Amino acid sequence: MSADDLLFELGTEELPAGEISAMATALCQGVTDGLTEANLAFTGAHHFSTPRRLTVWVENVAIKGPDSEQQVVGPPVSAAKDDSGAWTKAAEGFARKQGISADDLIVVEEQGVERVAAHVSQKGAQATEVIPDIIANAVAGIPVSKRMRWGRSRDEFLRPVQWLVLLLGDAVLPLQLFGLKSGRESRGHRFHHNTPVAISSPAAYRDTLREARVLVDMDERRALIAEQVLALANKGEAVALSEDLLDEVTGLVEWPSALRGSFDQEFLAVPAQALISAMKTHQKYFHLNDASSGSLLPAFITVANIESKQPEQVVSGNERVIRPRLSDAAFFFANDKQTSLISRQDRLGSVVFQHHLGSLLDKTRRVVAIAKQVANAIGADETTTLRAAELSKCDLVSEMVLEFPDLQGIAGAEYARHDEELGAVAEAIEYHYYPRFAGDELPPTPEATAVALADRLDTLIGIFGIGEPPTGSKDPFALRRASLAVIRMLIDLKKPLSLTELLQGAFEQHTAELAPDTADAVSHYITERLGNWYDDDGIHISVVRAALAAGATDLFDIDLRVRALNAFAKTETAEHLAAANKRVANILAKADEVDGTPADSNLFVHEAEHALHEAVSRVGSTLRPLLADRNYQSALDELAQLRGPVDAFFDGVMVNAEDPAERSNRLRLLGGLRALFTQVADLALLSSAAE
């Protein structure tokens, strides 16, 4: 069957750099899904994007889908034929709908009922006929953060659409979108080649636009930018080639040209992070560090969207632009230092944290109280912790942080050092915001950890307590991230801390009227997040649920159980014991006479009952010291010894005996077995998918 390549390009005004990749991916997915639904085969699909275009190239799309035969079932024979055997109007209507004569109907049996049916031939889809609709639907499905209109049209998109290219092979397919008709004319670079560019075929697309100074392949453009930026570093220098900035810059240019500039040495007196923030956030510059010391150098690298004949002019322009930004940072830093950090605390009272939960000053006072409890629980220095908690939010009302919000904590630490606070206090102020994202480093000291936990526990309790937990994609207080941070810190501490007690302590510091079950609700929410946390390590959710079923509220203890159980779950014995536990759980769930008392060995009839009872007693004695030491791996190994007695019991003993005393005694034996297992985890919850 013949096939041709398909190319679709949606040309626009400049799109926001942060949204381009997701939009191109969604467009490609929409096109391929449409082709699949139309039963049009293809061999591969690619998406390209620049600030001015979203493109999909699908290779070897079938020109025509395969014809098919299908059987369509109609009304019962009793309704399709009358008493004389003639076709009824119902049968004739069904046949007419299928495009055949009633005499061509056949009789089939379906679920014991005889029905009339028709064999219907269906022609395969013609690519030229269905592709325009597939493209239109795919464009409509592109996720757009905010739609706009332009001109007099009522069409909406993220940015005005300027041109459409739609080719199947070397032929243009007709498509009308956004008041435009498709053709083969794309556009070259806005400055280097600001003229229409004819695309002869999908396969020629990339090379044709390359000649027009447009690199449509985002990966190629990204790699070229990285190569150019790294090449501008001198010996002994290192470029801070952050992935997020590299992605953003890639989405800003079509023909990248990296250039190096510099700024005055005097600005290095300002905290490095403030200068980096000004360069990275506001100007999209890559900064340079000394390769040996890591200190910031007075230089930057910018990526222009033009290959200038006078690059020195471009560099000079960028240097002129960055100077006032750095001057602002220097001014704010000098001005903020004229006032001590602690003197700013009262100003926090005029900043609302949440209208039900009070101001940032109210939050600070709660954090201080919670941090004291946490510090005592984890062995942090109380004096240092309390001072850091007291100062932790003061920099939020500094000029530096108001201008550069990403410097919260960093600015506070600088001002604390300037005020001659203890180094440990300054460190805790900066790091109480850590971890800031998945995979970020944890607070490095117990004092920083205490303040970090207190801050997040207070927010979680407060927002849940007023009935505003995260819903769907809305999480304005970043409670999901806060929960994962709490999980990471409590596990990393390797200390026996009850999550429920910590949350209850935070709950007690709130003066606002909170729901009485808030601590339990937050505890449940946090433990629910464990599934996501362990999924990154390839641990199946059933392992996590089985470990949680033991009832532990200490996240470090839960982590030890999960990791031991995950290793155990991969064994053949685990599969057998999981099945046995499910059987025991089901039997006990249906029984009324289980009262928790031990089984009476004098009532045993079968040897298998004696053997299981002895094994449960023996393993129970061995298990106690192992559980006390949290040695769950060895505890599971001990439980594995029960496989033989458990299998023998179920092979030779009928639990639901006719004699009520025997039945009740056997149920008590199984109750003891179940209680033994659930001291480590509920193996009945293990899934075969965990293997």
Residues recorded for the chain = 691
CA–CA distance, 179 with 157 (Å, rounded to integer):
12
Strand partners, 167: 7, 172
Query: Do 127 and 3 touch, CB atoms closer than 8 A?
Result: no
Which of these, 643, 514, 498, 645, lies nearest to 577 by C-alpha position? 643
373 Cα distance to chain centroid: 32
Per-residue confidence (pLDDT) for residue 427, from 0 to 100: 97
- Count the neighbouring beta carbons within 10 Å of the beta carbon of residue 396: 19
Which of 524-556 are b and which e, b meaning 16 or more Cβ less than 10 Å from the residue's Cβ? ebbbebbbebbeeeebbbbbbbbbbbbebbbbb
Per-residue confidence (pLDDT) for residue 107, from 0 to 100: 86
Per-residue confidence (pLDDT) for residue 593, from 0 to 100: 60
Which of 429-466 are b and which e, b meaning 16 or more Cβ less than 10 Å from the residue's Cβ? bbbbbbbeeeeeebbebbbbbbbbbbbbbbbbbbbbbb
- Residues sharing a CB contact under 8 Å with residue 48, sequence separation 6 or more, in sequence order: 24, 54, 55, 56, 57, 205, 206, 216, 217, 218
683 versus 360: the higher-pLDDT residue is 360
Lowest mean pLDDT among 95-104, 185-194, 400-409: 95-104
- Residue 300's identity, in one-letter code, is F
Which of 629-646 are b and which e, b meaning 16 or more Cβ less than 10 Å from the residue's Cβ? ebbbbebbbbbbebbebb
The average confidence (pLDDT) of the chain is 92
Tens of pLDDT, residue by residue over 95-116, are 888 888 888 888 888 878 888 8
Residue 642 has pLDDT above 90, yes or no: no
- Residue 43 is classified by DSSP as S
Lowest mean pLDDT among 216-225, 294-303, 531-540: 531-540
Percent of the chain with pLDDT over 70: 99
- Residue 388's identity, in one-letter code, is A
- Count the neighbouring beta carbons within 10 Å of the beta carbon of residue 425: 28
CA–CA distance, 17 with 305 (Å, rounded to integer):
13
Residue 689 has pLDDT above 50, yes or no: no
Per-residue confidence (pLDDT) for residue 1, from 0 to 100: 58
Dihedral sign for Cα atoms in the order 428, 433, 436, 438: positive
Residue 568 has pLDDT above 50, yes or no: yes
Cα torsion through 65, 71, 72, 73, rounded to 10: -160
> How would you classify the pairing of strands 180-181 and 176-177?
antiparallel
Mean pLDDT, residues 345-361: 95
Which of these, 466, 258, 455, 247, lies nearest to 363 by C-alpha position? 455
Q: Number of helices and strands (H, E) in the chain?
A: 26, 18
Tens of pLDDT, residue by residue over 664-676, are 888 888 888 888 8
Per-residue confidence (pLDDT) for residue 664, from 0 to 100: 86
Which of these, 348, 402, 341, 391, lies nearest to 367 by C-alpha position? 391
How does residue 684 score in pLDDT terms, banded at 50, 70 and 90?
confident
Q: What is the pTM of this model?
A: 0.76
- Residues sharing a CB contact under 8 Å with residue 415, sequence separation 6 or more, in sequence order: 336, 337, 340, 341, 394, 395, 398
Tens of pLDDT, residue by residue over 22-79, are 999 999 999 999 999 999 999 999 999 999 999 999 999 999 988 877 788 888 888 8
CA–CA distance, 516 with 165 (Å, rounded to integer):
61
Q: Which domains does the chain have, with CATH numbers?
A: 3-65+126-211 (no CATH), 68-122 (no CATH), 218-336 (no CATH), 342-536 (1.10.3210), 561-690 (1.10.730.10)
Question: In the sheet where 237-239 sits, what is the strand order?
Answer: 237-239, 286-290, 296-304, 257-262
First to last CA, the chain: 43
Q: Where do we find the tokens 């290959």?
A: 307
Tens of pLDDT, residue by residue over 480-521, are 999 999 999 999 999 999 999 999 999 999 998 999 999 999
C-alpha to C-alpha distances, 83 to 44, 89, 113, nearest whole angstrom: 58, 13, 18
Which of 63-80 are b and which e, b meaning 16 or more Cβ less than 10 Å from the residue's Cβ? ebbeeeeeeeebbebeeb
Peptide bond between residue 435 and the one before it cis (omega within 30 degrees of 0): yes
Token digits of residue 539? 């641990």
Per-residue confidence (pLDDT) for residue 688, from 0 to 100: 54
Between CA 310 and CA 316, with CA 312 as vertex, the angle to 5 degrees is 125
Burial of 485 (0-12, 13-18, 19+ CB in 10 A): buried
CA–CA distance, 226 with 243 (Å, rounded to integer):
10
Mean pLDDT, residues 234-245: 92
Which of these, 583, 601, 580, lies nearest to 643 by C-alpha position? 580
How would DSSP label each residue in 426-453? HHHHHHTT---STTPPPPSSHHHHHHHH
Q: How many CA atoms lie within 13 A of 483 on its CB side?
A: 24
Residue 484's region, left for phi above 0, alpha for psi from -120 to 50, else beta, is alpha
Per-residue confidence (pLDDT) for residue 290, from 0 to 100: 94
Query: Do 61 and 14 touch, CB atoms closer than 8 A?
Result: no
- Residue 477's identity, in one-letter code, is F
Token digits of residue 534? 């362990």
Residue 127 has pLDDT above 70, yes or no: yes
411: helix, strand or coil: helix
Helix axes 541-548, 555-569, angle to 10 degrees: 130
Strand partners, 398: none
Mean pLDDT, residues 241-250: 93
Q: Where do we find the tokens 């089939």?
A: 108
CA–CA distance, 354 with 438 (Å, rounded to integer):
25
Lowest mean pLDDT among 68-82, 212-226, 455-469: 68-82
- Residue 126 is classified by DSSP as B
Per-residue confidence (pLDDT) for residue 667, from 0 to 100: 87
114: helix, strand or coil: strand
Query: Do 47 and 10 touch, CB atoms closer than 8 A?
Result: no
